[in-house]
Amino acid sequence: MGGSASRGNHTPNAEFNIYVDPEAASMVFASGIPIVMCGLDVTNRATLTAEMIASLPTLNRTGAMLHSLFQHYRGGSMSRGLKMHDLCALAYLAKSELFTTQACHVAVETQGELTRGTTCVDLANRLKLPANAEVCLEIDVEGFRQWFLEMLTHPAVP
């Protein structure tokens, strides 16, 4: 989970996880290993509603624990809903069909005075460089929410 194909959350263009160490992120994107980038374009829409959050303590002990933890979470509010940024990485691994992706070349700006940490996602292949990442562009929000509840209420979860 990191980056963005549009705007940032730490600077106008840079997402926090990439911004804090753009040199490392640049090396990862240039490494040739298979990468799936799940950035803010998707994670900002991967939300739990206020109603879902309120129901968590009634589901099981894990739901009660999450409800307690979410009271200190900074990705939204208990009354308006919460953005599940990091949970998107797990959701992609468990249920990739929830996501629409596109193979793109992604580079990380390491020098720019105003753009440091920006993930430059070449959606239109203007640079004519080989794709080095599958970039998540859309998420089935209702499917994501259903997956979350199914995962949380699985019989193996106390």
Of 67, 72, 85, 154, which residue is the catalytic one? 85
Burial of 46 per CB tally in 10 Å (0-12, 13-18, 19+): buried
Catalytic residue list contains 72:
no
Pairing of the two strands 133-139 and 36-37? parallel
- What is the number of other CB atoms lying within 10 angstroms of the CB of residue 104? 23
Alpha helices in 8-100 (DSSP H): 16-19, 22-30, 40-43, 50-59, 61-70, 87-94
Active-site annotation, residues: 85
